[in-house]
């Protein structure tokens, strides 16, 4: 169960919820974007409100271990994201946080206890979509659980083991056409 700070809990209980995102993209350069109406300084970083943040997936809660994808879309008018994608950003970090706006002061709550971590993962499939309407960098990330889908084959032969380690003799008795009779149950 997720625990909220008293300020955040009172905002949620009031039903007058205003929120914003803080997004960190750690590529060749670090990018910090916010969906708030003005720039925000949080944890020593300046999150720009005019950085071209276009779309963010809504947070999803999952009760199973899965490979849930998460998408961040940024307008790429200066070809900065295109250059990053060409430099290969697969496997680079993405961090998305959610902050709340105090309904009384109409200011963002920037205490570390008031900011929620929504998503932390790695870039999986980046692409730049260039249409007549807009040029957008779509960055899809997966969670660290994405490795659960990975298939890694391993050959069990003398030659394949000697390619890994010439001194390993654990597969020396494995032959292509060898037969072995096994008796099941009590002998």
Query: Confidence band (pLDDT; 50, 70, 90) for 81?
Result: confident
Q: What is the pLDDT of residues 12-26, one digit of tens each?
A: 898 889 999 999 999
What pLDDT is recorded for position 43? 92
170: which 2 tokens? 């654990």
pLDDT tens by residue, 113-128: 999 998 888 888 888 8
Collect all residues with Cβ–Cβ distance below 8 Å to 176 and sequence separation of at least 6.
157
pLDDT computed for residue 150 by the predictor: 59
b/e per residue, 19-49, with b = 16+ CB within 10 A?
ebbbbbbebeeebbbbbbeeebebeeeebbe
pLDDT digits (tens, 9 = 90+) for 159-173: 777 788 888 887 777
C-alpha triplet 59, 113, 13: angle, nearest 5°: 65
Tens digits of residue pLDDT in 41-67: 999 999 999 888 888 887 666 666 666
């Amino acid at each position: 169960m997720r625990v909220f700070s008293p300020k955040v809990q009172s905002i949620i209980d009031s039903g007058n919820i205003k929120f914003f995102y803080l997004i960190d993209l750690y590529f060749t350069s670090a990018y910090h974007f916010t969906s708030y109406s003005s720039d925000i300084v949080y944890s020593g970083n300046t999150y720009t409100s005019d950085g071209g943040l276009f779309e963010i997936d809504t947070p999803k809660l999952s009760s199973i271990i899965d490979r849930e994808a998460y998408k961040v879309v940024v307008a790429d008018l200066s070809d900065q994201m295109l250059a990053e994608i060409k430099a290969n950003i697969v496997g680079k970090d993405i961090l998305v946080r959610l902050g709340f706006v105090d309904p009384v002061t109409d200011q963002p709550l920037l205490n570390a206890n008031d900011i929620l971590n929504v998503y932390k993962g790695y870039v999986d499939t980046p692409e730049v979509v260039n249409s007549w309407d807009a040029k957008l960098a779509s960055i899809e990330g997966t969670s660290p659980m994405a490795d659960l889908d990975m298939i890694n084959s391993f050959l069990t032969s003398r030659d394949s083991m000697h390619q890994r380690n010439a001194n390993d003799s654990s597969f020396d008795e494995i032959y292509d056409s060898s037969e072995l009779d096994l008796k099941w149950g009590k002998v």
